[in-house]
Amino acid sequence: MMKFLVLALFVAGAYGCGLPTFPPVVTRVVGGEDVRPHSWPWQISLQYNRQGEWRHTCGGTLISDQWVLTAAHCISNDKEYRVALGKHNLVETEETAVFLGAAKIIVHEKWNPLFIRNDIALIQLESPVTSSDTIMAACLPDAGSILPNNDPCYVTGWGRLYTGGPIADILQQALLPVVDHATCTKSDWWGFQVKETMVCAGGDGVMSGCNGDSGGPLNCQNSDGAWEVHGIVSFGSGIKCNMAKKPTVFTRVSAYIDWINSVSSHWVTLDTERRKTVTALICVLFNSNIKIKSIAEKSLLH
């Protein structure tokens, strides 16, 4: 039953998930680079309204036709957000782009900003988005799955190109090999700050996620060739973005599959019930109007 629920909620129509029309150009060479346009079609730009101007603040991942996965620390209660889908260059007008408001934003109920625990949030789009060559959902990993050490994954985003540098205009990708939990929790790495609900990647002192990448995906290819979102960019070194032995730390998505399913199914069910209630109310009002009109007509006849 749970497997059916996952499939029902997170398969994006005929396009499926994690298999882009324009596959990313990936190599084992470490280095940030411009992506092939629309090769990561689940990557979104989370934007906030600042005095009428929409500005990029975080990344995120489309996981179904109406849900986006991002980091809890990207969300502020006093901001208005929209989601930009199908984007490649943030500063250019692109025909492929779709902009949708957030109908609901659900931050994990145990999000702890002090210790950066449960750094995950879901955004429900104001309307379902249609899958296409440039907009597609990523696959979710199996619940509880753990990536092997040195597994070649890729971080994508429009974050700063280097410490203190400018935000990227064109979507960037960088190879970040997975660092296993035993290594990442060593005292000269991240130590006790990293928990089992997190996954580390990078740490070579050359490439990492940076400011503006937050909320975006750690993309890892499964044995069938489909791309899964295994991580949500959470935190890194406060000294500089690419510090040795301080890999980028991601929220481990496979630790939150039950939460994702629970939240999304709850709101889908609630929305369905609300629609039924509204429809029933309209019917009642319509029938009442007919009865009132009938009584009025009879009164006029007499």
What is the model's pLDDT at position 122? 98
Which residue from 37, 9, 32 is spatially nearest to 212, judged by alpha carbons?
A: 32
- For residue 21, CA distances in Å to 76, 94, 142, 215, 276 come to 34, 18, 23, 24, 38
Cβ–Cβ under 8 Å, residues 254 and 147:
no
- Pairing, β 198-201 against β 248-252: antiparallel
According to DSSP, the residues that pair with 67 across neighbouring strands are 124
CB half-sphere exposure, 230, CA atoms < 13 A: 25
Question: What helix, strand, coil percent values describe the chain, rounded to 5?
Answer: 25, 30, 45
What is the residue extent of each domain of the chain? Answer: 33-258
Cβ–Cβ under 8 Å, residues 2 and 261:
yes
pLDDT per residue as tens digits for the range 198-240: 999 998 766 656 666 899 999 999 999 999 999 999 998 877 7
What is the model's pLDDT at position 285? 52
Which residue from 169, 205, 176, 59 is spatially nearest to 123, judged by alpha carbons?
A: 59
What is the model's pLDDT at position 12? 41
Please list, in sequence order, all residues whose beta carbon lies within 8 angstroms of the beta carbon of residue 187, skipping any fewer than 6 positions away.
none
Residue keyed to tokens 């879901």: 122
Integer Cα distance of 279 and 294 in angstroms: 23
Long-range contacts of 192-196 (CB under 8 A, 24+ apart): 193/115, 193/116, 193/249, 194/249, 195/117, 196/252, 196/255
The first and second tokens of residue 43, run together, are: 């990557």
Phi first, then psi, for residue 33 (nearest 5°) are -155, 160
- For residue 292, CA distances in Å to 28, 67, 284 come to 75, 44, 12
CB half-sphere exposure, 296, CA atoms < 13 A: 6
Q: Please report, in tens digits, the pLDDT of each residue of the chain (302 residues total).
A: 443 344 444 444 457 899 999 999 987 655 578 999 999 999 999 999 999 999 999 999 999 999 999 999 999 999 999 999 999 999 999 999 999 999 999 999 999 999 999 999 999 999 999 999 999 999 999 999 999 999 999 999 998 776 677 788 999 999 999 999 999 999 999 999 999 999 999 987 666 566 668 999 999 999 999 999 999 999 988 777 778 899 999 999 999 999 999 999 876 654 555 555 544 455 555 555 545 444 445 544 45
**CATH class of the domain defined by 33-258:** mainly beta
Integer Cα distance of 299 and 302 in angstroms: 5
Task: Find the radius of gyration of the CA atoms of the chain.
Answer: 22
What is the model's pLDDT at position 165? 74
Rounded to 10 degrees, the C-alpha dihedral 50/250/255/99 comes to 30
* Residues designated catalytic: 73, 119, 214
What is the model's pLDDT at position 105? 97
